[in-house]
Amino acid sequence: MIIHRRSMKRQFLIRQRDEYFQQHGGQLLSDMMKIDRNLEFTLYRQEDIEVATNNFDKNQIIGEGGQGTVYKGFIENIPVAIKRCKGMDESRRMEFGQELLILCRVNHDHVVKLLGCCLLFEVPILVYEFVPNKTLHDLLHGQDRRYYISLATRLRIAAESSQALGHLHSLARPILHGDVKSANILLGDNLIAKVADFGCSIIARMDEEALVAKGTVGYLDPEYLQSCKLTDKSDVYSFGVVLVELLTGKKPRCLVSMFQDAMKEGTVDELIDEEIINEDDLEVIYQVAELTSRCLTMPGDKRPAMSQVAQELRQFTELVRQRPDAVGDLIALREVDRSFTGTTDSTGYTRS
């Protein structure tokens, strides 16, 4: 009887895994992978994920948000970020595998690489490259902030992030992020920006606007809240909120209305982070503020495209870099925070 029960339990677990695999479009994904032999994408085993996350141990959680929980783990001695998705859209389950193939083909220096997935759990598990440093949110709002962040560094991170989003929007099947925020901009070696958490995002259909039920309060496009329809201009609005964070050093709660009012009244310099405001950079700061205001404008169709935002930010970054006494991409630490950078050499950090 014991052997029989064990056998029945094993068969049930196998059937359950097969059901999950089919529900998430795994068979279609597997068939398409056989056709495209050059595809760098891995279908991980259930055991791989359980071992890497220590059965989803809370102590291995490195991030949590509306779209899922992220764990740090090792697969074949390689550090990876393992995301357990939340809130799968039932109507799109069968398309999920096909969409993963599109996502894994995204190859951009400033987008976190999707390495593979596991579709043998109740919800999809996505495996990404691991980005070693913390997030832009941590850099700006960390509890133990002991460092000065130069204007050049802020503009560079903004430019790199907007390039990534512009790339996603420009694909043959545009990818709408849907949850752009400073916590989803990771910082790699040398504080290189990498946009993350787009694996459960919406791949826009060319013939209709996309519906989505995700996002973060403070970053959400007001038009989305009214229509529940996500567009590329929704991402532009959310990125505009990130730009306000970079300019002011403040968290986004109620920040947009304060910023827009200050722009109308000509008092925006009172909101700018005192660490970056100086005579030499004032003109560039005002230009960035004007661009930020356009990103936040209503109605949404008056906002610039993300590619335009990226182009202007690149120009502003170059203007600051060309200034003779510019700090450039350096961050002058008041006290070296090794828990953030790990080194003071390769990241371009200098003691103040």
Q: Any idea which residues carry the catalytic annotation?
A: 179
Crossing angle between the packed helical segments 306-322 and 232-248, to the nearest 10 degrees: 30
| Peptide bond connecting 299 to the previous residue in cis, omega within 30 degrees of 0 | yes
Beta-bridged to residue 63, according to DSSP, are 70
Read out DSSP for 52-99?
A: HTTTT-GGGEEEEETTEEEEEEEETTEEEEEEEE-S--GGGHHHHHHH
Between CA 240 and CA 288 the distance in angstroms is: 10
Q: What is the rounded radius of gyration, in angstroms, for the C-alpha atoms of the chain?
A: 22
Q: What would you measure as the largest C-alpha separation in the chain, in angstroms? A: 83
Question: What is the Cα–Cα distance from 96 to 272, expressed in whole angstroms?
Answer: 43
CB 60 within 8 A of CB 84: no
Evaluate whether 150 touches 329 at the Cβ level (below 8 Å). yes
CA distance 241 to 342: 29
Q: What single-letter amino acid sits at 244? A: V
SS3 at position 105: coil
Quote the tokens at residue 35: 């056709």
Rounded-to-integer distance, Cα 37 and Cα 41, Å:
10
